Chain A
């Protein structure tokens, strides 16, 4: 009796087939949460997180969904997706350790105390219109806040992301809305969607960190330190220093070149390496290039 027909790929595709293998091309948190892909929520996978200042403003940009079909000209965010930007403005950071400075942008003095003082939470209604809620930010600053949500060119400059789009939420608002005494902010972003066994999501901090250390993507920065013993995955932003990795992250940062502790070593696949994004970034809000 021929059994060949029974050994079909049906068994490969039934249920959740998570492939835990890391993909070298998925750098800079480029949709590294295989679990989200495994349960078919690519729209909640973080591809990039940027944090920088522009003049007197703070700019936060969260890119998601590495699997948007080419040719789309509009993007509808799902109404069960929550994107949250978190800002810790109380943690002290030292800059006297050159290794920490290179790898993380500084040394967080008390990693066990990293918590959000301010939060900006973006959700969407059934028509895809964004709604913003904030914690720890005075209302008087919200009138100056700009919010963009929609398709943008993928800012990751390496092939094969050239010509591909992602979904981006970009916020720009006065720096003084979040900055108190210190000049340093710790920033990170998360996504969350409800699922049968409870909410699931992704974490975006400093590029090329949490994606390689399981299960840091599902832990808060404080939990990452307490449970895994790793430096919390956050962006350290000293607002008085020039912008660009390791200080914050701007769209033009080629993280593969810059991040010295990239666990997978050098990245030779698309040599000669591109020097810049295939589409120029904008010099003004929302900064990320228009979709292709």
Chain B
């Protein structure tokens, strides 16, 4: 195909589109099922919690704390399965819980569920109720910060931090201020706060928080195309919890950034044996395409699209941005990419959401 008539991206997109139509039916016998056909399961501890709390609630439907715990377990499950039905189950349990008796636990998990599903305005409403019940709760501060940053309200985060904790010294407050600084492009400030958060987490001894702080520091450099500077932080996180999922995702980004794309793809594919993660499928698709592995790229494309569509169709909004990006990456369905990106801005207004729309419009104008 002459380069003048269609650019390389369009050529790749065309051959890729052909592959999409055939990938589902061309699995050789004995080969692992394509990603979009693999089942998504949660770890045993999540499933055992669901079983335990479900049994309790079946016998005692007014046991509101257990309903809140069951809702939390479903939210934990959806992080592994990506299945929107688990989100619906979470909401159902939590709303039943507060209908029996308002309680902090259900408010907090409702806020977390709303954040997960990108209903950030809703998350803020639940956070306000939760904060009324537990004014100093640092997890509520973290959820409010997440929602406010997603809604492009960094000044409100600053005001909130000033009101809740001054001077800032707890782990969550440091992490929140670090995120705020990162959004404001104050990388030095963000790094200082994440380092302090890491020290605070070390004192607490909580593995997840210790790892999070180090990954956050690494992400500052990865985001700015400086993977070499991210390496010490990734290594430090790996010494604490080498199998941490978010760490593995960032290690894959690091490998991509240091010209080790095959290793990065292998890492993404390993992660996809653990979780049904549409975003990781999208990244794997991009990488595979760059490496010329069109069959694999098509497999990941289908998997990502199916996961996101399966959530979008019943009314979830969190797939809007990811699906728009997927279509932009592939250079196809660009009209729909724009529609998705515009709709996404009703719920999410941060830089990533704005960039997605801008990119979709630019690509569409070139086609």
Contact = CB atoms under 8 A, between A and B. Distances in A.
A binds B: yes
Contact of B112 (A13, A43, A66, A194): A13
Contact of A3 (B133, B212, B253): B253
A80 B56 contact: yes
Nearest to B51: A196
B69 A7 contact: no
Interface of B: 45, 48-49, 52, 56, 60-66, 68-69, 72, 76, 79, 100-105, 107-109, 112, 115-116, 129, 132-136, 138-139, 142-143, 145-146, 170-172, 175, 179, 182, 204-206, 208-209, 211-212, 215-216, 219, 222-223, 246, 249-250, 253, 256, 279, 283, 286, 352
A196 B48 contact: yes
Contact of B63 (A23, A126, A196): A126
Contacts, number: 146
A271 interface: no
The 4 closest A-B pairs by CB, nearest first: A40-B105, A67-B104, A69-B133, A9-B146
A7 B76 contact: no
Contact of B204 (A10, A20, A70, A160): A20
A80 B59 CA distance: 11
A69 B62 CA distance: 18
A72 interface: yes
A79 B62 contact: yes
B352 A78 contact: no
Candidate in A43, A67, A195 with the most chain B CB atoms within 10 angstroms: A67
Contacts of A67: 103-104, 133-134
Interface residues of B: mostly helix, strand, loop or mixed?
Answer: helix
Contacts of B208: 11-12, 14-15, 17
A19 B136 CA distance: 12
Given A18-B206, A196-B49, A10 B132 contact: no
A126 B104 contact: no
Contacts of A69: 102-104, 107, 129, 132-133
B52 A196 contact: yes
A164 to B, nearest CB: 9
Given A12-B172, A12-B212, A80-B63, A160 B206 contact: no
A18 B204 CA distance: 9
Contacts of B65: 40-41, 43, 78, 80, 193
B253 to A, nearest CB: 5
Contacts of A91: none
A70 to B, nearest CB: 5
Given A12-B142, A126-B60, A1 B129 contact: no
A196 B45 CA distance: 9
